[in-house]
Amino acid sequence: MRLHLSACPPFSLWAVVESHGWVYLPPFAADAQTRTLTRVERLENGRVIELFISEAGDGVTVTAREPLNGPEREEVSRKVWWMLGLGEDLRPFYELARGEPALAHVEAQALGRLLRCPTFFEDLVKTILTTNTTWAGTVRMVSALTSRLGDPLPTDPSRNAFPTAAQIARAGEDALQAMGLGYRTSALAALARQVADGALDLESMKDNNRSSADIYHRLRQIKGVGEYAAAMALMLLGCYDYLPVDAWARKLVARQWHGDQPVGPRQVEAAFARWGRWKALAYWFWEWEEETSAV
């Protein structure tokens, strides 16, 4: 199976792949030599396949070793379109960035899109698993969830798709606790139950007609989703007017504008206030005085 999907220019697949740490979390993987993004994906009919995504022409080529029928091809197209933000128009952001030396690189490198998962449920679970832990801890927890609860890839049973909300809900809190999720266990179990039961429709938050403030408020009502997680989740929905302020953000702003003196969320907000609805992207891709990375 082979599909070609066009992107709103400018576009760079590798810029999306390297936009943040999701590529290092299963079921994503990437080959830097061939510049190929891969993902083990569970389709809506339960079939598990592996997708290979590479840059081609004005977009990407998506291939799978297995033949897919019409509805499956449409589902793959829709999911890859969302994962890579192929329809996202960042020209207004680039126009603003041209006047800022610290963002002069973004348009030339086609930066701005963030790699995201096919479902907002998966994005939100992974976001919760980044809070109050090291990156190694996040990788360990996501790997445990995927390998123990996700459906295996038939051609390589050592690799799994990300588990569905129903699969996580069925596992129960004891099983999640045994995976080392710590205090996040009850929050993730509750989230999975709500989504599986239809009480919480996370996918509806992808609706562009909803305001960021409305989505932020709804996210903050979810157990385990604090201010940072809500702002980060909004970025993955393409809403950039809330800053994901954490200790790293405070450190960067303190170094850049406050002589390394401690700063709080208000100072971080003030540093990027002029970017309005683009302020989270301005922060994320800012060229800081010292080499740093936001993951």
Residues 6+ apart with CB under 8 A from 52: 36, 37, 38, 62, 63, 64
pLDDT at 209: 81
On the question of pLDDT at 295 being above 70, the answer is no
pLDDT at 192: 98
Q: pLDDT grade, residue 292 (50/70/90)?
A: very low
- pLDDT more than 90, % of the chain: 96
Cα 214 to the center of its chain, rounded Å: 20
Q: Which residues pair with 192 in a beta bridge?
A: none
pLDDT at 39: 98
* CB distance 206 to 237 below 8 Å: yes
pLDDT at 290: 65
Domains by residue range for the chain, with CATH: 2-92 (3.30.310.20), 120-236 (1.10.340.30), 247-284 (no CATH)
CA separation (Å) from 71 to 43, 119, 243?
A: 10, 18, 38
Q: What is the per-residue pLDDT across 128-171, written as a single tens digit (0 to 9) for each?
A: 999 999 999 999 999 999 999 999 999 999 999 999 999 999 99
Which whole number is the average pLDDT over 256-260?
94
Which whole number is the average pLDDT over 173-197?
97
